[in-house]
Structures are given as structure tokens and as C-alpha cells.
Amino acid sequence: MLELQNINYVKKNKEILNKITAGVERGESICLFGPNGAGKSTLLKIMASLIKPTSGKCEISLSTPKTVGYIPQQIALFPNMSVKDHLKYYQKLTKQKDQAFINEMSSALDLNSIMNKKVEELSGGMARKLNLAVGVIHRPEMIFLDEAFVGVDLAFKHDMLTWLNKLNNQGVTIVFVSHDWHVIYNLAKTMWVLQDGKLMDQFLIKDISKREMDYQSEDSALKKMFALRKFDYEKNGN
């Protein structure tokens, strides 16, 4: 579905991504994992065709062109526009006519109770839910999420994860960046580990216990991040 061949990305003479080659199959759910500055967001943007790589190829094959959804790290919403107006605006922009899907999504993300509220009146968690809703309103085949769960409480996180898992089970491919182990365990099937612009490792999430051992001997950020896995996961009540 998506092929990355020898992807390099250089910005201001700094190498952000270095020879990344990988592939994404339909219906997969991949977490891009790694420390800050590893190149996760840049790789996600290249995969979503938002930016072009300096060299290499990123080929995406979808049934209809441009049916990808992108949920940025920021809450990319119009501050004084209501929730209802946002849905209406993106529905019109994407020419989405499947009102049943929008109703189902609004209900799953519990947006109906805040329809008339403006974005500036919403809490961070509610705004994140709307941020997700407008990003997937056109029912994309592939969704890219860049730390879309930051500042979201467990109840709202549950709504978002349930909805994304439902889409994933319907065959929608999900690629996301997150440091939140709760999100990773509940959404990812596969993990790509990045460090210093290089794709270090790819493995199934169920194999994480075995693979994280590889990083135990290293004195790196990754070692600390994996060490936090149990703490975060247990803290969130799993």
C-alpha cells in the first residue's frame, strides 16, 4: 500500500532522515517510536505526502487519490468556529456525503453534546477529539496521526482509541507517532523504532518484550523510553 525506498531528508544542511526503506500493508497500524529529534514527524509527513523527501521514493497506492487523513501535532482548528461549523466546513471541503458516517463518528467521539461550542471554549481533550474527527471526516483509507493524544484524559483517550480501532478493523491503515504506552498498546500492531534519522527496528507489538532487551545494554534515550514502558502502562491501569 505504501512503499518507502531509500528515503533521505536534509534540512538546513542537517540530515533528518537517512536511507529509510520500509513498507506499509493495508489495514496495518504502525507506531513510529523514538526519542525527540529522531525524525518521526518528518517521516510521517513524507508518508502523508505533505513534504517531499530530498531523495528516495515514497509510493502510495490508494483506491482513490488523496484519501489520506492527517491529524497534526497541533490542534489545527479555527478558534472561534463551533464544533458543528467545523464538521460542516470539512464535510463541504472533502465533499463527504455520507452523513451516517459523520453521525456515527460524532456519537463515538461524544461530540454531540458540544456541537454548538466554539473551539476556544473547549477543553484540550475535547479539542483533540474534534481535531481527530475533522481529520477523518472524509473516511480516508490511511490515517496519519502526529502525537494526536497529547493532553487527553483517559476517558477521552478511550473514545478516540475505540473509534480508531473500529476504523482499523474496517481496513483503514493507521500510522501514528506517540510516546504514550497506553496508546501504543491499544492501537499499534507494529512498531518502527527510529533514532538519529535511521529506522533501527520494526517488530510486532506483541514481541516488544523480547525486542526491548536489545536496547537494554545501550546507554541511549531509547533504553530509558523502553524502561518507562511498564511504569506508564501499569500507571494507566492496564
Q: Which residues bind other proteins (CB under 8 A)?
A: 45, 48-50, 65-66, 68-81, 85-86, 88-89, 93-94, 135, 138
C-alpha distance across the termini of the chain, in Å: 33
What is the C-alpha to C-alpha distance for residues 94 and 77, in angstroms, rounded to an integer?
Answer: 16
What is the C-alpha to C-alpha distance for residues 235 and 154, in angstroms, rounded to an integer?
Answer: 11
Which of 90, 203 has the CB closer to other proteins?
90
Which of 64, 217 has the CB closer to other proteins?
64
At its nearest, how many Å lie between other proteins and the CB of residue 171? 19
Element (H, E) at 154: helix 154-169
At its nearest, how many Å lie between other proteins and the CB of residue 2? 15
At its nearest, how many Å lie between other proteins and the CB of residue 66? 6
At its nearest, how many Å lie between other proteins and the CB of residue 49? 8
- Quick one: cell of 210? 523480547
What is the C-alpha to C-alpha distance for residues 137 and 117, in angstroms, rounded to an integer?
Answer: 19
Which of 82, 190 has the CB closer to other proteins?
82
What is the C-alpha to C-alpha distance for residues 146 and 227, in angstroms, rounded to an integer?
Answer: 23
Which of 173, 186 has the CB closer to other proteins?
173
At its nearest, how many Å lie between other proteins and the CB of residue 140? 8
What is the C-alpha to C-alpha distance for residues 160 and 182, in angstroms, rounded to an integer?
Answer: 12
Which of 88, 117 has the CB closer to other proteins?
88
